[in-house]
Amino acid sequence: MNKFDIFNHVAISAGAGSGKTYTLSRRYINILVGFNLFYEGESSRPMLEALSPARPNEIVTITYTEAGALEMKSRIFSLIQNTLRYIEGKLDLKHDDYDSIHKALNPLDQPWIEHVQSMLEHSLRYLSSATISTIHSYCLDLIEQFGDYLKLDSKPQIIGDDEKILAYTDAYRAVLSDEPEIIKEINQTISLYKLSQIAQKYSFNAQFREAFNNYALLCDDKEFSLREIWMASHLSTYREHFEKGFSALGALATQDPSKSDYCDAILANAKTLLQGHGEWFEYPGQFRKNKNIEEDTFESVKGLRDALKELKWTMIDPDAERYYVSTLKYVHALFVKVYERFRLALREKGYTDFETILEQANMLLEKDIALSTRYFMVDEFQDTNSYQWGIVTKAAAKNNANIFIVGDEKQSIFAFQGADVSVFAKASRSIGIEKPLSMEVNRRSDRSIIDLVNDVFAPAMAKKESIALEPINCIGEFRADDCIALFNTYTAQPRIFNDFEARYEPLLTPDTKGEGTIAILATPVDHTIAECEDECNESLQELRHIASFIHEVTQGKHPQYSDVAQAYSEGKKAIAVLFDSRKHMLPLKQCLLELGLRAKVSDSGNFFETKEVNDIFIVLKLLSIMDNLDWENLRGKEKYVISGALRSNILRCSADEIEYCLRVKRLPEILFRWKALSFYTPLHKLVQNIVEERALLHLYRHIDGYEQRAANIEQLIDMAHEYSTRMGSNLKGFSDELEAFIHNENVIEEEAFVIEEGVGSIEIVTMHGSKGLEWPMVIIGAMNRSFLGMSKQETLVYDRFENKELIGFKIGEYEPLVYKFIKERINQKHLAERKRLFYVAMTRPEHHLVLSTAINNYEKGPRLCYNCGSNNYFTLVNNVLGIDYEELYERHIDQIKNISIYYPGEWSGNDATNAEIEVIPPKIVEPQQFSRFSFICPSGTVNPLSFLEEREFDAGTAGSVVHKILENHWHELENDNIYERYFNEYNVPEEFKNNIIRMSKVFMKSRHFTKLKNGAEAYFEHDFVMHQDGNQIRGSIDLFYYDDEANGWVIVDFKTTALNEKSPEDVIIENGYDKQLEFYGTYLESVIGDEIIISKEICWLS
């Protein structure tokens, strides 16, 4: 199979650093020219006249995120341009694309080259029509084209999250009122609060809804016996215990007749267990070995007894199980009614949501619609789920389209967003590929790093084959015939195959790669010291060790890391510290600051400045002070806290409601309930209750950055749990600590635990956030942390097993069989995903990998952590290295298998609040080839009370609307329908509407519009931050694009300012627009490298 081949379906398993995007972009070019221009191995071309090149609008490329879609389009755009430059003899020999383009074009004669040039020039003009998008955007396009088939609005209006929650709440309450009998049946076992959360998930999540519907039918399937299948898998582990134990019972009764009653109890419990239900008997007396009992007999009976004890949890209560199924039927009936009422409300208001778009697109594809798509390519396929893949295959079947999928099972780390690692293998088989093509050459990391990666993950990811349960044959059994027969009935059950483990194929390294280095930072922590504080804080001690090590590296104290020190001194990307949890990130930044080092916390935004974290904080703050409020003499800060909490996305009060609360001096009743809850509920449970009760996660589900917001909320809950463990459930103390993080007054604003643009030499990143990135040195911290503490258990769980959907939830305190089964599988999946997450982390470094762990000493001796066993990252590595933890704790090992081991010295950090501390600043970040995503951050400073301000619609607001229209619809300004959407969204007064349309269409008369229509690479509304003379300056460029004819960038600033009979030149000088353009030019020059800016212009729209 040729990975660039366009004439056959292709599935590629692309290992870390193997060039996945490189491959996809070149295959895209092959499709545009109609033959395998780029190839590997032997190349065979059809006749020139037989070629069938595809137009951009006949190619669909699905990516995981909108950012990924834009990046992919940019890579394809650049490759087309560079290929044309090569043909024109203008491509620099040192360009990264030169060798691959030369290899592709050099063998071709002139007619073929002319064909390539013609096709690519044509494609360049129409590349804006290509579908390179997320699956949701693609489905929205389908509805816009074919919505009439289902009588759908071809321009569906996406409902806002607040309105969606309100619509659902109204529907739920209406059904509760209309269905008292159903509610009576359900409310005996499930609280209405919990029920609301599950019903909301049913209404909002198409995949979950389908699973629930299917399981409601499966409950009536008498052929499906989950317990027998599940029990057989457990019995295979204990088979030897049962066989030897049953055989030994007769010997025990003979050797010591006084144990006959004990043997009877064991047999009775064995029968109860194998039946799955019944009475469990207490064992009479103690079972101790005596002189009459032989050693083998004693151990065999003891092994059987212990096996029964360990399997007791698998038993069920038949009455409770029947009641569970009955309750589930009532629940399902209720959910269907709520969902139908919710959908009706949306239809009546003319709204839809993203999940419905997927469903509607799926239904459309079952109709007889004609698609012109000839090629489907799906990037990051490991992050796809079966529902999305079903949409792709249905769409591809419409025109017998060619399918290309590329991903890496080993990097499937987003299960919490719905990704399913098993889909990759199933999808490959469904397009006739039993084993995907492997791209195993890692071009990122040095040899020693890849060798260790292979050594760790080849055994760690080895798929464990399910063991078939064999019958037991017992000799000399003690009345065990019934039990033996029951045991052997399970041997007829099929084996359970785990499809959630990735297939590991060893990575290779090119001969040109260096050796690289690996090191371990071992931090011994003694917990046996009486009344110790910092000395026993393993997290603090390890973070100080990491910070000290980084300080030594940047100061050049380790010659083997001289390249890292050099990169740091030049302000280049040098070191990344990765954690699997955000809770260590800001404390590490603080430790670095105490050593004079500045670091950038790079995890899709600053945790403590995010809206969701601030909302939770300000509600907790209000809860902590509400008992002491003096309503007659409220201070300014107290008014701010009250207003902020009421206006938050948690309480969602309007301005009138806030004013009412302040006037009547009374807070909403829900706050008093939460306050009472805080007295007897752990902090993390309190936060979790607030989040769930107010449906905060669902509020953010379909807006940009949902997954990060969800992770932020989870991290805050983890912080609350960690604080409770350390300080007790002290609500005021926790809110004060959060306030200190958010409003650190002891350092300058930009230094207070925030992202510092331009300080990118040292970055602190989550493992999830590191995916797709690389650094010269990577330090992986907190490697002794237990996996098991990271698994979140939900009230309701669901999973797919044997092509069947399973749903489980608790009935009071009773855990039904299906709930236990799914919960066990979820734990197994969680452990498998943690291994994949660690794989992602270990494949990020280019030259130096550093593994950091605490070694804790307890009364029973040194170990990684108190009760984590082998479920942690460092154990995965140590399975290969074989380090003795006691020797490591005692600092007796300096090196193992060419891996250096470093221990902490005395901490030399200063108090970060000390004004005399000397901060070691990295140099300015070097210029680099422009990429839209390199330097984006929100522009402007947010006023925390801005939401209380009333704003009138004026000429300035009208100008902002024009900017948004040009950014999103510059290519379809003649379509009058686009303006209505913005008029509604911004509540545009009637007197402004015609002027907004006129100003937008003025852009069509400019030469800039012509350049964009001809395919110029362009970027609208680019926010940026630049450091100048020690100050941080923020700005936003309206438009800049690359002019191919002039070979340079053009900066355009839109102005809707009226000239009022003045010359444009006078208005520019009066308003300082010339200086503004110069500032934009200074910024852009810092990121475009050797390319030039040929023009900086005002585009007058007034």
Locate the domains of the chain by residue range: 10-153+355-439, 160-351+458-497, 532-603+759-797+854-902, 607-751, 946-1100
Say if CB 246 and CB 283 are below 8 A apart.
no
Task: Say what the pLDDT of residue 289 is.
Answer: 87
At 885, is the pLDDT very low, low, confident or very high (cuts 50, 70, 90)?
A: very high
Closest CA to 274 of 316, 332, 224: 316
For residue 112, count CB atoms less than 10 angstroms from its CB and return exposed for 0-12, middle for 13-18, buried for 19 or more: middle
Query: Percentage of the chain surpassing pLDDT 70?
Result: 84
Least confident of 168-172, 607-611, 1052-1056: 607-611
Q: Tell me: the pLDDT tens digits for 134-143?
A: 888 888 888 8
**Confidence band (pLDDT; 50, 70, 90) for 110?**
very high
Overall fold of domain 10-153+355-439: Rossmann fold (3.40.50)
Least confident of 189-193, 469-473, 801-805, 1080-1084: 189-193
- Is 20 annotated as contributing to ligand binding? yes
Residue 791 has pLDDT above 50, yes or no: no
Residue 921 pLDDT:
44
Q: pLDDT tens across 836-851, in order?
A: 889 999 999 999 999 9
When pLDDT is cut at 50, 70 and 90, the band that residue 511 belongs to is confident
Q: Is 14 annotated as a binding residue?
A: yes
> How confident is the model at residue 116, as a pLDDT?
93
Query: pLDDT averaged over the chain?
Result: 81
Please report the sign of the dihedral spanned by the C-alpha atoms of residue 751, residue 754, residue 757, residue 758: positive
The mean-pLDDT minimum among 72-76, 600-604, 740-744 falls in 740-744
Residue 169 pLDDT exceeds 70: yes
Per residue in 283-301, pLDDT (tens digit) is 888 888 888 999 999 999 9
- For residue 703, the model assigns a pLDDT of 53
SS (H, E, C) 347-413: HHHCEECHHHHHHHHHHHCCCCCCCCCCEEEECCHHHCCHHHHHHHHHHHHCCCCEEEEEECHHHCC
Residue 15 is labelled as binding a ligand: yes
The arithmetic mean of pLDDT across residues 993-1021, rounded, is 86
Q: What are phi and psi of 759, to 5 degrees?
A: -100, 65
Q: Which of 954, 957, 939 is nearest to 1034 (CA)?
A: 939
d(CA 779, CA 770): 12
Interval 513-521 mean pLDDT: 94
pLDDT at 232: 86
Which of 356-360, 686-690, 793-797 has the weakest average pLDDT? 793-797
Residue 476 clears pLDDT 60, i.e. is over it: no
Looking at residue 748, what is its pLDDT?
29
CATH architecture of 607-751: Orthogonal Bundle (1.10)
Please report the pLDDT score of residue 783 as a whole number. Answer: 93
Residue 16 assigned to a binding site: yes
pLDDT band at 590 (very low <50, low <70, confident <90, very high): confident
The confidence score (pLDDT) of residue 17 equals 75
pLDDT at 760: 66
**Each residue's pLDDT tens digit, 318-342:** 888 888 888 888 888 889 999 999 9
Using an 8 Å Cβ cutoff, are 317 and 121 in contact? Answer: no
Q: What is the pLDDT of residues 748-772, one digit of tens each?
A: 222 223 333 335 689 998 888 887 7
Kindly tell me if the per-residue pLDDT of 777 is higher than 90.
yes
3-state secondary structure of 652: coil
Annotated ligand binding at 1096? The verdict is: no
> Any known ligand binding at 516?
no
Q: Give the tens place of pLDDT for each residue, 202-253.
A: 888 777 788 888 887 777 666 567 888 888 888 888 999 999 999 898 889 8
**Could you give the angle at the alpha carbon of 621 between the alpha carbons of 618 and 623, nearest 5°?**
115
Task: Judge whether residue 1074 has pLDDT over 90.
Answer: no
Residue 932 pLDDT class (50, 70, 90 cuts): very low
Spatial CA neighbour of 637 closest among 266, 945, 1000, 1035: 945
pLDDT tens-digit profile of 142-155? Answer: 888 888 877 776 66
Question: In CATH terms, is domain 946-1100 a member of 3.90.320.10?
Answer: yes
